[in-house]
Each structure stands twice: as structure tokens, then as C-alpha cells.
Amino acid sequence: MVERQVRDRGITDVRVLAAMATVPRERFVDVDLADAAYADRPLPIEEGQTISQPFIVAAMAAYLEIEPADRILEVGTGSGYGAAVLSRVGGHVDTIERHARLAETAARRLADLGYANVDVHVGDGSRGLPERAPFDVICVTAAGADVPVALLDQLADAGRLVMPVGGRGGQRLVLIRRQGDDLVETDLDPVAFVPLVPDRES
Ligand code: SAH
């Protein structure tokens, strides 16, 4: 999977490639789908959500230029797979999921597999996680019309954020880098993610 789907498509970050090679993707999907775990596509998980295609997980991690001590926020825990990969590349991962059941399953899997530097939170990730901010890296794995301001506010100086931005007409990954008070935005690949659903009470 790592050679054909990731490295041969241009991902060169050796720490991302190593992380992708060590995280057992089959442990993050339903047992019925274990045979498809290494296929070149997203797979369904509970609550009508998806675990991203391996290449997309790697591409997002590579765009984020993660350093070993980085504090990372992931929005959209889903299966927990992306958090596991990020935890092998950075220093600590806080990941937030709006579906309590998905969060519980992911937390149990991550604990069983020994990923001790990941904390799973239940809540609306479009508000970020102010009590743990600022973050060097923010990885949003659900699509919205815009990047939520709360997430930009929680990005450390020199921090990087990636998020799929757009609607039904099409989404693109967007990379934002904070340089002091400035935010520098770069448009990247077209993608297809499930929607970021903000908490209606907000
Ligand atoms: N990173 C995941 C992919 C998850 S798909 C993985 O590796 O499996 C996106 C996830 O974002 C879904 O589980 C969805 O429930 C969650 N999500 C959508 N809106 C959210 C919000 N406002 N806050 C937190 N999680 C959200």
C-alpha cells in the first residue's frame, strides 16, 4: 500500500511513509471490511461516515510538514486511523469527533494498539479545542464552506492547517500557514470528504 498508493504518487516525507507503514489500517475498520482495508479508496465506517483513502491521509500529513514535537489537533476522528498516523509523525494529537459512538470506538482502538500520545474528545470540532490551544498543526477531515475562524485563532505562529473547503460543486484541500498575524493560503488537490457538521446550538 505505501509503495504503490503513496510513495509512487509523489509523497516523499520519510516520516509520513514510515508512519503509514506501521499503523495497522485493518484494525480501524469493521471486521467484514478487513480484506478491503488496504484498498486504494475510502471505506465506510459507522454513522454513515468514512475512513479516508490511504493516499489522502498521507498527502494531508505531508502538506502539514509535521515536526516530531508538534502539537496536533485533528477535527473528525472517525475511525481513529488518521489520528494514529498523525501520532507517529508528531508529538501529541488531540482529536475531536461529534459522534460519541465513533469517538468511543476510536479511543478504545487507539488505547488497545498503544497509541498513548492521542486524546479523543467528543464535541463540535469547528470550535476547535480552546483548552488545548495553540496547535502547531490542525488537520480537518470533514469539508466546510470556509475554514472556521476558531481554528485559525488556535493555530500557533508558523502553524499549518489543512482542510477540504467547498460544497456540492466540488471541494479542494486548502493549506493555511500562520505567519504572525498573517495567514497565507494555498489551494491544493480536488477532494471529496463528508461534511463538517457544526453544532446547531452554537
Ligand atoms: N480522520 C477520519 C476520517 C473521518 S470522516 C479517519 O481517519 O477515519 C470525518 C469525520 O468528521 C466523521 O466521523 C464526522 O462524524 C466528523 N465530523 C463532522 N463534523 C464534525 C464536527 N463539527 N466536529 C467533529 N467531528 C465532526
Q: What is the DSSP track for 21-42? A: HHS-GGGGS-GGGGGGTTSSS-
Tell me if 109 is assigned to some domain.
yes
What does the alpha-carbon distance between residue 67 and residue 136 come to, in Å, rounded to a whole number?
Answer: 9
Tell me if 34 is assigned to some domain.
yes
- In which band, very low, low, confident or very high, does the pLDDT at 180 lie, cut at 50, 70 and 90? very high
Tell me if 200 is assigned to some domain.
no
If you measure from the C-alpha of residue 74 to the centroid of ligand 1, how many angstroms do you get, rounded to a whole number?
9
pLDDT mean over 94-100: 98
Q: Is the CB of 144 under 6 A from ligand 1?
A: no
Tell me if 198 is assigned to some domain.
no
Tell me if 76 is assigned to some domain.
yes
- In which band, very low, low, confident or very high, does the pLDDT at 202 lie, cut at 50, 70 and 90? very low
Query: For residue 169, what pLDDT is reported?
Result: 85
Tell me if 152 is assigned to some domain.
yes
Which CATH number characterizes residue 72's domain?
A: 3.40.50.150
**Ligand 1 test: best mutation among 98, 105, 137, 171, most atoms within 8 Å of CB?**
98
> Which ligand 1 atom sits nearest the alpha carbon of residue 139?
1
pLDDT mean over 118-130: 98
If you measure from the C-alpha of residue 84 to the centroid of ligand 1, how many angstroms do you get, rounded to a whole number?
14
Tens digits of per-residue pLDDT, 43-92? 999 999 999 999 999 999 999 999 999 999 999 999 999 999 999 999 99
Residue 130: other Cβ atoms inside 10 A:
10
Mean pLDDT of the chain: 96
Tell me whether residue 87 is one of the annotated catalytic residues. Answer: no
Containing structural domain, residue 57: 2-191
Query: For residue 49, what pLDDT is reported?
Result: 96
When divided into structural domains, the chain yields a total of 1
Q: What pTM did the predictor assign?
A: 0.97
**Ligand 1 test: best mutation among 75, 118, 191, most atoms within 8 Å of CB?**
75
Q: Is the CB of 52 under 6 A from ligand 1?
A: yes
> Which ligand 1 atom sits nearest the alpha carbon of residue 85?
7
Look up cell 514535537; give the residue. 69
pLDDT mean over 5-29: 97
Tens digits of per-residue pLDDT, 144-173? 999 999 999 999 999 999 999 998 789 999
Tell me if 81 is assigned to some domain.
yes
Helix (H, G, I), strand (E, B) or coil at 29: coil
Grid cell of 37 as nine digits: 482495508
Tell me if 155 is assigned to some domain.
yes
| Nearest CA, atom 14, ligand 1 | 76
Share of residues in the chain with pLDDT > 90 (%)? 97
